[in-house]
Structure 1
Amino acid sequence: MNENKLREDVCIWAKSVFERGLTGGATGNISARLEDGGLLVTPTGSSLGQLDPARLSRFDAKGVLIDGDPPTKEVDLHAAFYETRSTAGAVVHLHPTHSVALSTLPETDADCFLPPITPYSIMRLGKVKLLPFFVPGDPAMGDAVRGLAGKRSAVMLAHHGPVVAAKDLEAAVYAIEELEETAKLALLLRGMGAKMLSPEDIQKVVTRFDVDWDV
């Protein structure tokens, strides 16, 4: 995909998630890998609902900013996914309500943030790691992702929001939407004794869709 088309796509998908309430104000950030190994990144302090394709932050393959506005302060978080997951073509970080709420509950499993309610979160996300709280922009967030050695495509930053890496923008947006919908279901079902997918059910999904689950 050429750079101009990718710039337009970043802005289209960003506006889509903003208009559907998956992130608000000037929160959230998106990046996408270019054919030359560089990155397009949403600028700092920008609303995902009002991005200008020409003003996206442009990095070269060595990680040097060469054009556009100053990038999001969480660019190192994005870089950590690209460094550890060779298949990553896009990274999306949003602040959706239900997943943030679920991250604050003491009973939430840090190793497997989303309960196995439907097969779709397993298919699109695998296991989601719940990371501890970091001050926004703290480079330690990137270090925490690097510490996972590429074994997770998605993490949840406690009290903050999810971050998802995927092969392209469309896949990353669909995956983060699935994460938020599953978190919403988990909150709706809390305390009701809901039946989760059994280990056997999970294994069938993992096998059928070649998911890295036991990591």
Structure 2
Amino acid sequence: MPRVFVQGQPVASYPPLAPEARRGSVRRVTEVGEEVLHKACRDVTEFGPDLAALVDDMFLTMYAADGAGLAANQVGVGLRLFVYDCRDDEGVRHVGHIVNPVLDRLDPARRRLLDEGEGCLSVPGAVMDVPRPDRAVVRGVDKDGGALAVEGTGYFARCLAHEADHVDGHVYLDRLSARDRKEALRQVADRREEVFARRAAKTKALTT
């Protein structure tokens, strides 16, 4: 059985990096506190080469930063779009992008919250426990305008919910208590330089 799902569909084989990354350039990752991260993104209304190039850049930027997902406002573009390359709790890999994503509202009686560690490329070096549902469904379109519905469980559900938060103008710190938010920012202060050194080395390895 295939262990990789691309755009929500199973495939027999897939390369270590999404093919889009080979066409992309690494962009700067925005950090918590920058305005673009803290306001709702605009719907994508124009589909074409510029959008495709943004998707390419986002994939390569995500890999350079060792991320599992990346939203457009994390590269300074206030559009409703995210990319992902993430494994679920069963080790199944999920790869794709979603334009104009909308996260389904789940019946509280039929969902289970998982309180597990979560990080963010825009909060470099911090990992905090954040409660998220164990299942997520995101609906939207692809870069060509084709309809998409992607479902995830476990860690992949966390990824989908996290990125959907981003396009709505929220970072995971917004879900923390004041005390835990302060701890997360302390972790950033302690680890930021180390994180950026790793990203620089990974960027060099991917682009030379």
- Shorter chain as denominator, the TM-score bin is under 0.3
Q: Which of the pair is proportionally richer in strand? A: 2
TM-score for both structures, normalised by structure 2: 0.26
TM-score for both structures, normalised by structure 1: 0.26
